[in-house]
């Protein structure tokens, strides 16, 4: 008997084939002749910069690849009139890397999952961010655990049964007055604030 998962895979494969076939048969957007564009002004004419049409490479997942191309072209990339500089200005790089976020930078990313990426691929963060960006948020805003009664709850949270390791978690934000181990046995029934103020 064919399992549901196998059946679903077959249906998906057939659907994919049909859509691909339909795609190959239908006219492609952009197949219509593109009017030859003229430079918008004299400076553009003299520099040879025209904003359109884009090269064939700039399709689909080009964003995933453009960094490799920039690396290959070296420092000449941003110099006017060469490679990327034929159409782009240096300021185009900054405009994207400083003011536009990747698609995966959602609300969920902001509140939870960005640390997940940082633990394994800091180089990706370095594409746009420097360390001061992280410090600004982590030292000036509070995480989800830090609600009203956090002051009294934090002892047992850190030292008893939460799965947290203070030496690798609290220090993300707290640089001073850090204590990474309790001086005595701690359990969840204790009222820490009786002694610790």
Partner 1 sequence: MKIHAKAGRCIFLAAVAAVGVGTIGSPVFGESQPLTDPAYSFRGSLTAKYIYRTAELPGQRFSDQDIYSTLRLDLTTTKEKGYEFHFLGWGRADIDGHQNQTGFYPLEDVGNAYSKPVQGYLFEAHLDMNKPLPLVTQIRIGRQSGTRDEPVFFDGLAVDLGNDKLTLSLYGGAAIHFYEIDSTWGRDSLQGAGLDLTPFSFSTINLDYLEVKDKREFTDQQDTLTNRLAAAKVTLRALAATYITGKYRTLNDDPRDFSVRAATAWTEGGGNVSLGYFRQFRTQNELTNEFSLFFDVIGKSSPYQSYDIKLRQFIAERVAFDAGYFDRKLLDEGDQNSFDRNFSRAFVDIELSGCLFAGLACTLTGEQWKTGSNKYQSAGFDATYAWRRLNAKEAKISAGTYYSLFKYDYYVMPGVRDKVRTYYVNMQHPFTKNFSMTAAYEYEHGIENYNTVKIGMRYDF
What residues from 124 to 183 belong to the interface with partner 1 (CB under 8 A)? 125-126, 130-148, 150, 162-163, 165, 168-169, 171-172, 175-176
d(CA 69, CA 87): 15
Mask 2-31, x = binds partner 1 (CB under 8 A)?
--------------x--xx-xxx-xxxx-x
Peptide bond into 53 cis (omega under 30): yes
Total chain residues near partner 1 (CB under 8 A): 95
In the bound complex, what is the minimum distance in angstroms from residue 183's beta carbon to partner 1? Answer: 23
55 vs 183, which CB is nearer to partner 1?
Answer: 55
Contacts of 156 (CB under 8 A, 6+ apart): 162, 186, 187, 188, 190, 192
Residue 111 within binding range of partner 1, rule CB under 8 A:
yes
In the bound complex, what is the minimum distance in angstroms from residue 84's beta carbon to partner 1? Answer: 12
141 vs 194, which CB is nearer to partner 1?
Answer: 141
Q: Pick the closest to residue 174 from 138, 143, 124 (CA basis).
A: 138
9 vs 90, which CB is nearer to partner 1?
Answer: 90
d(CA 31, CA 38): 20
Residue 188 within binding range of partner 1, rule CB under 8 A:
no
Give the burial class of 164: count Cβ atoms within 10 A of its Cβ; 0-12 exposed, 13-18 middle, 19 or more buried.
Answer: middle
How many whole angstroms from its chain centre is CA 108? Answer: 12
152 vs 195, which CB is nearer to partner 1?
Answer: 152
């Amino acid at each position: 008997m064919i399992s549901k998962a196998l059946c679903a895979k077959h249906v998906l494969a057939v659907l994919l084939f049909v859509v691909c076939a339909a795609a190959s048969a239908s006219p492609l957007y952009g197949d219509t002749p593109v009017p030859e564009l003229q430079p918008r002004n004299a400076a553009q004419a003299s520099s040879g910069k025209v904003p359109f049409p884009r090269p064939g490479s700039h399709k689909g997942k080009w964003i995933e690849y453009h960094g490799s191309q920039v690396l290959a072209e070296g420092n000449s990339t941003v110099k006017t009139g060469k490679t990327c500089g034929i159409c782009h200005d240096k300021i185009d790089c900054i405009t994207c890397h400083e003011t536009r976020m990747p698609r995966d930078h959602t609300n969920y990313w902001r509140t939870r999952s960005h640390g997940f990426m940082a633990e394994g691929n800091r180089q990706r963060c370095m594409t746009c961010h420097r360390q001061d960006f992280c410090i600004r948020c982590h030292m000036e805003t509070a995480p989800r655990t830090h609600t009203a009664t956090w002051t009294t709850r934090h002892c047992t949270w850190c030292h008893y049964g939460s799965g947290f390791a203070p030496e690798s978690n609290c220090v993300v934000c707290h640089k001073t007055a850090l204590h990474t181990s309790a001086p005595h046995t701690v359990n969840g029934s204790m009222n820490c604030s009786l002694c610790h103020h």
